[in-house]
Amino acid sequence: MTTRDPRSPRPLRVLHVIQNLNYGGMERVLADIVLRADPARFESHVLCLQYAGRFAQGLERASTLHLGPRMSPMSMLRPTALASQIRAIAPDVVHTHSGVWHKASLAARMAGVPWVVHTEHGRQKPDPWQSRLVDGIAARRTDRVVAVSDLLAAELPRALWIAPEKIARISNGVDTDAYHPRVDDGKLRRELALAPDTPIIGSIGRLEPIKGYDIMIEAMAILRREPAHREAVLVIGGAGSQREALDARISELGIACHVQMLGWRDDVHDMHAAFDIFTMSSRSEGTSISLLEAMSAGLPPVVTDVGGNAAVLGEGLAVQSLVPTEDPTALAARWGSFLEARERRERVAEQARARVVAAFGLDAMVCAYERLYETGVAVRAGVSANAVRGVPPSPRNSALRPPVI
């Protein structure tokens, strides 16, 4: 691949590589970056190695979509077909996302891509040594590894045996204009045959072990033992490999009338409006998009103290909203304390909304990635990032430094 002069008028060509664009916070982050990136400066491409999926809808307006080639198991060692496809797209930047790092970064280097970025959206807990070994190898051929939380940024150098200078921290962000407090129009409650005053504890996420929905269901059974909370309902929006196991456990606990499993929904705003509390029982998180969206929508959160959750909440909310992980009793108790105090819920909801507006806006996230792309390509080419943007050189902005995000 011929190295492009970053001062040329053509926009930087950025290729995102991901497994699919179906459901999840990582997929939403990619879609938001593509849709919000400045089209005068960036030409976006998205390569899905499995299939497109839900978040691909509308992306063709702002990017070119590609499906990956058929690959054999040997492609982990030498992804020749993927490298050929990347070479044909000829990106200036390849941006990989969790799940494709090893293969996609190797293919990018084989294709001669000058700047490779990876976003680590969160890691398993516990983190298997095999995963750390493979990702550590990928990290060594990656120019910048983006961590979506301070905690993850601190963990990655130790987990992957890489220099701290290789880490850039960019928090996830959400559209706070789209996700704002709304009046419940009763649509979801009518669908679920719930009375207007039925307390709803709500959650939205992937039904996978790392999300800990088994803990949440146990907590609901505990909450139901309290006479004051017998009418409360748990509503979960999401799909995943644990659906059958969770359904079975709900039946065993005898709480099928008080847990509604909705599958994936497109009416997230209606769900937020109907919820009294938003909750997560994750075993690990980066910076949760579901949590940011719910807080931006003005919901009081009750979430486990893992990953970036404490940083999202901030000190003021953390003491009120965090519970230990793997502790359904603590989770149920915190739900109960919120349900018993409407004024407290409303106060926490206002704090939650204000926190996201102040610290986790979508434009700030997208601008940070844009700077990372431009600065990286400029450093590789030996010119200043300001030259890429068309800014006249000056003594203050002409020095080349690694990007600080």
The model's pLDDT over 204-229, given as tens digits with 9 standing for 90+, comes to 999 999 999 999 999 999 999 999 99
* 28 or 277: which leads in pLDDT: 277
Q: What is the mean pLDDT of the chain?
A: 90
Chain segment 142-184, per-residue pLDDT in tens: 999 999 988 899 999 999 999 999 999 999 999 999 999 999 9
Above 90 in pLDDT, residue 88?
A: yes
Looking at residue 44, what is its pLDDT? 97
Question: For residue 43, what is the enclosing H or E element?
Answer: strand 42-51
| Mean pLDDT (whole number) for 46-60 | 88
Chain segment 3-16, per-residue pLDDT in tens: 555 556 689 999 99
| Mean pLDDT (whole number) for 104-128 | 92
Looking at residue 391, what is its pLDDT? 45
Q: List 76's β-bridge partners, or say none.
A: none
Looking at residue 151, what is its pLDDT? 87
Above 50 in pLDDT, residue 294?
A: yes
Q: Say which amino acid occupies 224.
A: R
Chain segment 356-404, per-residue pLDDT in tens: 999 999 999 999 999 999 998 887 777 555 555 554 443 333 333 333 3
Q: Are 236 and 262 in contact (CB under 8 A)?
A: yes
Looking at residue 385, what is its pLDDT? 52
| Mean pLDDT (whole number) for 299-316 | 95
**Can you tell me the distance from the alpha carbon of 86 to that of 91, in angstroms, rounded to the nearest whole number?**
7
Strands (E), 143-275: 144-147, 167-169, 200-204, 233-237, 259-263
Above 50 in pLDDT, residue 278?
A: yes
| Structure confidence at residue 72 as a pLDDT band (50, 70, 90) | confident
Looking at residue 28, what is its pLDDT? 87
The pTM of the full predicted model, rounded to 2 decimals, is 0.81
Q: Are 255 and 366 in contact (CB under 8 A)?
A: no
Report all structural domains of the chain as residue ranges with CATH numbers, in order of start.
Answer: 12-173+361-389 (3.40.50.2000), 187-359 (3.40.50.2000)
